[in-house]
Amino acid sequence: MEHVNFIALLLHRHIKNLEFSIDMLLFSILIGITLLLVVSSPLSTLAVNQTTSISNQAKSVIANSNRTDNKLILLSDLIKNRIDKAAAILELTSRLPETRGPPQMKLFSPASKGIPENADLAKRQTGREILSKYPDEFVSFLFLTPNGTVYLLEPFTRQQNLSTYDLSHRDYFKGVVQTNHTFLGNVITSVSSGRNQIQLAVPVFSLVESNQTASQIGVLSSGLNFKTFNEILQSLNLRSNERIVLLDSNGTKIADSDTKQISSLHSF
């Protein structure tokens, strides 16, 4: 009887302890990762008197488990590094003067579902540059006001496709507002693309003069590129009876090592 190794990675949504210095970014994202290894062992099917066979089978299962553990350690490091990088980029972007300038809410238009394409070009151009430089990390660039209203979204075609400009109900927005820290949400169905997506979000604070206190002027959020996580899982040298699935804390698929499975990019 062939045994099956099915490995699920449960990625919790909290990201914390991001530290910044002038010379370098020291970031440590503490991600709760639960590794669930389910092994359907062939031992129960063997006769009791087959002592030698049982011993050999047990050694085989242990060896396979050790190999699987090594793959999981490698995989968790690869995933953590990619999220670390994305978080660092977004954190740095939130500190740029262009990003921290006050939103021009008088330019907001329900018809545009945010501000027009040619408004507040400093912020919008920042978003375009981020998407252009880091396509493996991000698929969208979103700036929300403190009440969860869409200020701008890049690519602009996504802003035009929004079914609502009120995103105050999203978990990533609530998480940032409640914690004032970087927050990784669960899988959602994007209201601009209709595809499954995970948002990484950071608070944006105002520029301040001396003796003034910074206030939160918005939330900067980017959709992570699921394709990158799929490629990480599919790059491992897995056996034919092994499969690795990356899930969010609700059990919704983010990525899959099996290329024949339904893409995690699409909603189900």
- Contacts (Cβ under 8 Å, ≥6 apart) of 223: 138, 139, 140, 142, 190, 197, 198, 199, 200
Placement of tokens 């998480």 in the chain: 175
Residue 56 lies in a domain: yes
Residues 213 and 236 in one domain: no
What is the domain extent for residue 176? 98-225
What confidence score (pLDDT) does residue 35 get?
A: 31
**How many domains, the chain?**
2
For 112-168, what is each residue's pLDDT tens digit? 999 999 999 999 999 999 999 999 999 999 999 999 999 999 999 999 999 999 999
The model's pTM is 0.74
Same domain, 234 and 216: no
| Residue 177 located in a structural domain | yes
201 vs 94: CA distance, rounded Å: 10
Please check whether residue 81 lies inside any domain of the structure.
yes
219/189 same-domain check: yes
Say if 266 falls within a structural domain: no
The alpha carbons of the chain give a radius of gyration, in whole angstroms, of: 22
Residues 126 and 168 in one domain: yes
Residue with tokens 């995970």: 198
CATH of the domain at 220: 3.30.450.20
Residue 190 has pLDDT above 70, yes or no: yes
Is position 76 within any domain? yes
- Asked if residue 194 and residue 158 are part of one domain, the reply reads yes
Predicted confidence at residue 192, as pLDDT, reads 83
Chain segment 193-246, per-residue pLDDT in tens: 888 899 999 999 998 766 677 889 999 999 999 999 999 888 887 777 778 888
Residues 160 and 207 in one domain: yes
Q: Are residues 10 and 114 in the same domain?
A: no
> 103 and 73, same structural domain?
no
